Amino acid sequence: MRELSLHILDVLQNSLEAGASKVTLTIEEDLMADRLTITVTDNGRGMDADTVTKVLDPFFTTRTTRHVGLGLPLFAAAARRCNGDLVVESELGKGTTVRATFQHSHIDRAPLGDIRNTILSFLLAARPVDLHYVHRVNDRQFEFDTADIRAELGNVPLSHPAVRDWLSEFIAEGEQGIK
Amino acid sequence: MPKLKSLEDLKRIREEAQKDLKVRLDTGTTITVGMGTCGIAAGARDTMHAILEELHKREIDAHVTTVGCIGMCSKEPLVDIEQAGHPRITYANVHPDMVPRIIEEHLIKGQVVEEWVFGRVTRD
């Protein structure tokens, strides 16, 4: 994957498959500590201890449509080649947390990339899921929760074309503000 | 947290959208983009972005959604177009530069772009 935001989209899709109704995505860029931390926490069905040990194995998947599961192994490889790591914590019936860390300035660290379209792609999933998004760059922060947006919209879905366009601009402005 | 500064916009959108919500949900066009690991790695996010841009540019109202891997990873990005009363058409290996033609011919002129079709499901 050429951008970290593509790995993020992949992990967000896992949360969706796990039946989550609420997902929190936190991106923390601490330039003093030279650290980039990406955390995805969901309230999906979670995994037992045995399954958690297998998720970084590319030849393990819960799918029946194919025999490999490359999402998390690729993300872990990306983190580890940048003096970082990827950790998965999960509890059956409670949810899962995936945390990837990177040396921010590492030459091999892919750019964060198009986070706006990652979030939009996730929010357009057929089943509505709420996203709490936090992006921190040193002491500046952009944060929103789609639960607040949904409350304003009533029965109009996030996928409505007018809302879609609004979200796209809203995220672009927020990201611009913390650059 | 910076307050959602355009909440007023959302209220306006809500009022306008509610007028035609039922019509849209019942009879509209739905475009589905495969967004599993395979789709993402093949560029599905950019394809979806191109679809949204093209719809916006041409002022076409269509529902756009995503789905996980359906097992045909080598054909990603896969794009499905469903319209009431028409067979569901699946286009394979859809890259952003192919999107304008699909929107133009399939959605506007009602002609399926046969050379890019990978699958077709007829509902009765």
A7: how many CB neighbours lie within 10 A of its CB?
Answer: 28
Query: What's the pLDDT score for residue B124?
Result: 56
- Which amino acid appears at position A75 of this protein? F
A79 sits in the region (left: phi over 0; alpha: psi -120 to 50; else beta) called alpha
For chains A and B, what is the number of CB pairs under 8 angstroms?
115
Distance CA A103, CA A33 (A): 9
Residue extents of the structural domains in chain B: 28-121
Per-residue pLDDT of chain B (124 residues; tens, 9 = 90+): 445 557 788 888 888 888 777 666 666 899 999 999 999 999 999 999 999 999 989 988 888 999 988 888 899 999 999 998 889 999 999 999 999 999 999 999 999 999 999 999 886 5
Positive or negative torsion for Cα A55, A57, A58, A64: negative
Do A156 and A43 form a contact (C-beta atoms < 8 A)? Answer: no
B85–chain A Cβ distance below 8 A for any pair: no
- What CATH number is given to the structural domain containing A93? 3.30.565.10
Contact B13, A153 (CB under 8 A): yes
Contact call for B1 and A177, based on CB within 8 A? no
CB atoms inside a 10 Å sphere around CB B96: 16
**Structural domain span for residue A12:** 4-177
In the block, which residue shows the tokens 């290996």?
A: B93
Q: Which of B52, B70, B47 is nearest to A167 (CA)?
A: B52
CATH architecture under which domain B28-121 falls: 3-Layer(aba) Sandwich (3.40)
Query: What pLDDT does B1 receive?
Result: 43
How many angstroms separate the CA of residue A171 from the nearest CA in chain B?
10
Tell me the residues of chain A between 59 and 98 that have a Cβ less than 8 Å away from chain B. 63, 65-66, 69-71, 74
Low-confidence ranges of chain A (pLDDT < 70): 65, 67-68
Whether B48 contacts chain A with CB within 8 A: yes
Residue that has been written with the tokens 């490359």 in this structure: A70
Count of domains observed in chain A: 1
A166 close to B (CB below 8 A): yes
- Nearest Cα to A87, choosing from A132, A40, A46? A40
Mark yes or no for CB contact A17/B68 under 8 Å: yes
What does the alpha-carbon distance between residue B109 and residue B36 come to, in Å, rounded to a whole number?
30
**Cα distance between residue B33 and residue B44, in whole Å:** 7
Neighbours of A59 (CB within 10 A): 10
Q: What residues have CB less than 8 Å from B113, skipping those under 6 apart?
A: B91, B101, B102, B105, B106
If you measure CA to CA, which chain B residue comes closest to A164?
A: B52
Chain B residues in contact with A160 (beta carbon < 8 A): 13, 17, 21, 24
Residue B29 · residue B83 · CB < 8 Å? yes
